[in-house]
Amino acid sequence: MVSNDLHRDIEAVLLTEEQIQRRIAELGAQISADYAGKELHLIGVLRGAVMFLADLMRHLTIPCSCDFIAIASYGMDTKSSGVVRILKDLDDSIQGKHVLIVEDIVDTGLTLNYILNLIRSRNPASVRVCALLDKPERRIVPVEIHYLGFTIPNRFVVGYGLDYAQKYRNLPYIGILRPEIYGGV
């Protein structure tokens, strides 16, 4: 059962608020340098990437805009089948734009693979991916991550946008959730 004290449900802090913010500043500087002289269109994948996108954007020194997409799994089997559907499409056209997809975590890669195919079909000038976390042990579909915050072990993590049953997104750090909370091992 999820208790009211969110911190008590955390087995260990994997990444502190300071570590996260320092790395995001580095990513922002790198992205700003790589896109110097260009405009960048950020696409955040709802809902987990909201905090990461908001913090990353504040470290970009180039002109940029943002939009959001939300997708959901089809049926029971989606996480293994890779079949997903769009819950909220982009508001703006991306034709001719330099697009940066912003994700909180790449796990199996199925979500990102679907979004990349969708975005590429809409004729942007370029597409790259920026992900805060990568859990490579779980990968099913290979996906290229151009800008990565941290590689993490195969543990279920929450905080800084990441949830379990829609909770814990508001934790300022990323922590390993106690397995007894979600019935894992």
Nearest residue to ligand 7HP, by Cβ distance, number only: 107
Site for ligand 7HP in 63-122 (CB under 6 A): 105, 107
- Residues near ligand PRP (CB under 6 A) are 45-48, 103-112, 163
Binding partner of 157, given ligand 7HP, ligand PRP, none, CB within 5-8 angstroms per partner class: ligand 7HP
Stretch that binds ligand 7HP, among 5-13, 86-94, 123-131, 151-159 (CB under 6 A): 151-159
Q: In angstroms, what is the minimal distance from the CB of 168 to ligand 7HP?
A: 9
Edge-to-edge order in the sheet of strand 157-158: 10-15, 174-177, 157-158
Stretch that binds ligand 7HP, among 21-29, 36-44, 119-127, 150-158 (CB under 6 A): 150-158
Instruction: Let me know if 107 is a catalytic residue.
Output: yes
Of 11, 47, 140, 156, which one interacts with ligand 7HP (CB under 6 A)? Answer: 156
Rounded to 5, what percent of the chain is helix, strand, coil? 30, 35, 40
The partner residues of 133 in beta bridges, in order of sequence, read 105, 150
What letter would DSSP give residue 121? T
Nearer to ligand PRP, 28 or 48 (CB): 48
In angstroms, the CA 164 to CA 184 distance is 12
Binding partner of 156, given ligand PRP, ligand 7HP, none, CB within 5-8 angstroms per partner class: ligand 7HP
CA distances from 134 to 59, 95, 104 (A): 21, 28, 9
How would you classify the pairing of strands 147-151 and 10-15? unpaired
Distance of CA 152 to the CA centre of its chain: 13
Q: In angstroms, what is the minimal distance from the CB of 170 to ligand PRP?
A: 13
Q: Any contact of residue 162 with ligand 7HP (CB under 6 A)?
A: yes
How would you classify residue 72: left for phi > 0, otherwise alpha for psi between -120 and 50, otherwise beta?
beta
Binding partner of 24, given ligand 7HP, ligand PRP, none, CB within 5-8 angstroms per partner class: none
Determine contact, residues 13/169, Cβ cutoff 8 Å: no
Q: Indicate which residue of 9, 55, 104, 107 is catalytic.
A: 107
Catalytic machinery residues: 107
